[in-house]
A and B are shown apart, each in its own frame.
Chain A
């Protein structure tokens, strides 16, 4: 243990040379950052930072002459920081599918009761199912070139190309193919899969190529489904996975289009999850751990003010046309007055 009254623990010359060394290391880390070394950039930066930190701790903060207790005390904080980081990472990256529910996701869960309506979460679910059920033959990205494809005559369909689809390229028709299979090919019936999984697959497979024409009433008649009735038998609980919830939050905050149609429908898709089905508010919404509670609609707001708000920074809904915006604003105004 150094006696602190027995003169300085660092000479002026050593302070200056250590300072010079720290500045050289700073120069090194800045210069290296301009060279693209891929992942190595991070490790070089971390290594230089640790070297600099060690110099500061060891010499400027005099840990080299300090009692061992103080070194242990300080290093303990770094140990706890590491534990904090490792446990949090394990939780975040290996959490698996925890289901969430709540008013915010009610709308999604009820849409899923009509699984023929494409939603981001159905597509996401379809992608997972695709990897298990289809990728072996149809390939990882749907180009019809999976590991088992070479053995098949006729070859598996290339989902990225629009032509040649035997039943037609629509969600309903892919659903039909999954139900019945395709005679004269290796495509068997997948009717044993739950209906929701088949719809999810249909939406995902269609999403691999360009946007197809919409399903008509006749298409639904062919597969024997009334699109106006709720059809799902599997998703009963209004719960969705965290991953789906995050995807949904992102889509709705960046103004992604989920629904086209009447102002009421648009309200239901874009607004109701946060503002309530009748605009009553009182729903906790947020992102990145920052939350706010919505207020009931303001009766005094003019149509222009509502449109400005829909397009404004809080919503950023940029995909609606002027007509759609006006219709939606009128709908909101009426909801506020009721």
Chain B
């Protein structure tokens, strides 16, 4: 059992405080993505035809594959937490490596998607050069597409950094059944990244 900082009554109180801090952080995350989502909602209602036409240029199959990758990575993340709590060092590390692999696969698919968009000139606002989509509001859809998925991708990258950090500490045995607050909290962050994608995928790819 790891000893706790002196201003906490117990290790458990320390964990609860860290977790509450994480929830408060996630609230700020909801509001950050929320700004973009509200913008999306308003403009979609203002220009339904343009948004509908523009969303047809997103590849549903690639988006769906990425959804599967992210959900699976949430599963391996939850497994990593479970195995760490059970004190299974190797299984926990393997789950974290699985999570990292799935996150990397997500980024690869994103790379393919983004390069198609760049090639077709389906870019935000003034950079939009596609000639097939003629509705004047179509560039707005791609502004929102790149801002929401870009911000989300930034979160995936940060999450991967955190996962590597957790992986090192798990492998060295530092994080185990006695103390695994960082694993649990990075898990929270990772599930939140999944949560955001759960909403972005249908909003952008499916209903348009």
Query: Whole-angstrom distance from the CB of A6 to the nearest CB of chain B?
Result: 9
Measured CA separation A18–B75 after assembly (Å): 8
Indicate the member of A15, A56, A66, A290 with the most B CB atoms within 10 Å. A15
Answer yes or no: A322 CB below 8 A from chain B CBs: no
**Which residues between 153 and 208 of chain B lie within 8 Å of chain A, taking CB atoms?**
177-178, 180-181, 184, 187-188, 191-192, 194-195, 198-199, 202-203, 205-207
Docked-complex contact B72 and A19, CB < 8 angstroms: yes
Answer yes or no: B86 CB below 8 A from chain A CBs: yes
> A26-B64, A56-B191, A81-B30 given as contacts; is B38 within 8 A of A16 (CB)?
no
Answer yes or no: A217 CB below 8 A from chain B CBs: no
- Number of chain B residues close to chain A: CB under 8 A: 64
Docked-complex contact B71 and A5, CB < 8 angstroms: no
Docked-complex contact B23 and A92, CB < 8 angstroms: no
Measured CA separation A98–B139 after assembly (Å): 26
Docked-complex contact B16 and A80, CB < 8 angstroms: no
Query: Whole-angstrom distance from the CB of B187 to the nearest CB of chain A?
Result: 7
Query: Whole-angstrom distance from the CB of B139 to the nearest CB of chain A?
Result: 8
Docked-complex contact B206 and A45, CB < 8 angstroms: yes
**Which residues between 302 and 325 of chain A lie within 8 Å of chain B, taking CB atoms?**
313-314
**Which residues between 57 and 111 of chain B lie within 8 Å of chain A, taking CB atoms?**
60, 64, 67-68, 71-72, 74-75, 77-79, 81-83, 85-86
Closest to A61 in B: B191
From A46-54, A133-141, A155-163, A181-189, the one touching the partner chain is A46-54
Residues of B within 8 A of A4 (CB): 12, 15, 85, 180-181, 184
Measured CA separation A254–B15 after assembly (Å): 58
Residues of B within 8 A of A53 (CB): 195, 198-199
Answer yes or no: A76 CB below 8 A from chain B CBs: yes
Measured CA separation A5–B181 after assembly (Å): 10
Answer yes or no: A23 CB below 8 A from chain B CBs: yes
Query: Whole-angstrom distance from the CB of A252 to the nearest CB of chain B?
Result: 10
> A70-B20, A88-B38, A314-B126 given as contacts; is B199 within 8 A of A60 (CB)?
no
Measured CA separation A59–B81 after assembly (Å): 12
> A33-B60, A88-B38 given as contacts; is B74 within 8 A of A81 (CB)?
no
**Which residues between 34 and 91 of chain A lie within 8 Å of chain B, taking CB atoms?**
41-42, 45-46, 48-49, 52-53, 56-57, 59-61, 66-67, 69-70, 73-74, 76-78, 80-81, 84-85, 88-89
**Which residues between 1 and 33 of chain A lie within 8 Å of chain B, taking CB atoms?**
1, 3-5, 7-12, 15-16, 18-19, 22-23, 26, 29-30, 33
Answer yes or no: B41 CB below 8 A from chain A CBs: yes
Residues of A within 8 A of B82 (CB): 8-12, 15
Instruction: Return the contact of B31 from the options A11, A18, A29, A80 (Cβ within 8 A).
Output: A80
Residues of B within 8 A of A94 (CB): none
Docked-complex contact B68 and A26, CB < 8 angstroms: yes
> A56-B195, A74-B23, A89-B42 given as contacts; is B78 within 8 A of A46 (CB)?
no
Residues of B within 8 A of A15 (CB): 75, 78-79, 82
Residues of B within 8 A of A57 (CB): 191, 195
**Which residues between 116 and 138 of chain B lie within 8 Å of chain A, taking CB atoms?**
125-126, 128-129, 134, 136
Query: Whole-angstrom distance from the CB of B184 to the nearest CB of chain A?
Result: 7
Answer yes or no: B24 CB below 8 A from chain A CBs: yes
Query: Whole-angstrom distance from the CB of B138 to the nearest CB of chain A?
Result: 11
> A3-B12, A8-B85, A78-B30 given as contacts; is B64 within 8 A of A69 (CB)?
no
Docked-complex contact A81 and B34, CB < 8 angstroms: yes
Query: Whole-angstrom distance from the CB of A170 to the nearest CB of chain B?
Result: 30
Measured CA separation A76–B37 after assembly (Å): 17
Docked-complex contact B27 and A33, CB < 8 angstroms: no
Contact bitstring B1-40, A, C-beta under 8 A = 1, else 0: 1000000000110011001100110110011001101100
Residues of B within 8 A of A85 (CB): 38, 41
Indicate the member of B42, B136, B194 with the most A CB atoms within 10 Å. B136
Residues of A within 8 A of B143 (CB): 288
With A1-B16, A84-B35 already in contact, 19 other A-B pairs whose C-beta atoms are closer than 8 Å:
A3-B12, A4-B15, A8-B81, A9-B85, A16-B75, A18-B75, A23-B71, A30-B206, A33-B207, A46-B202, A52-B198, A53-B198, A56-B74, A56-B198, A60-B77, A67-B20, A85-B38, A254-B134, A288-B143
28 contacts between A and B (CB under 8 A): A1-B16, A4-B184, A5-B1, A5-B11, A5-B12, A7-B177, A8-B85, A10-B78, A10-B82, A15-B75, A19-B75, A30-B206, A33-B60, A42-B207, A45-B203, A45-B206, A46-B202, A49-B198, A53-B199, A56-B194, A57-B195, A66-B19, A70-B23, A74-B23, A84-B35, A89-B41, A92-B42, A288-B143
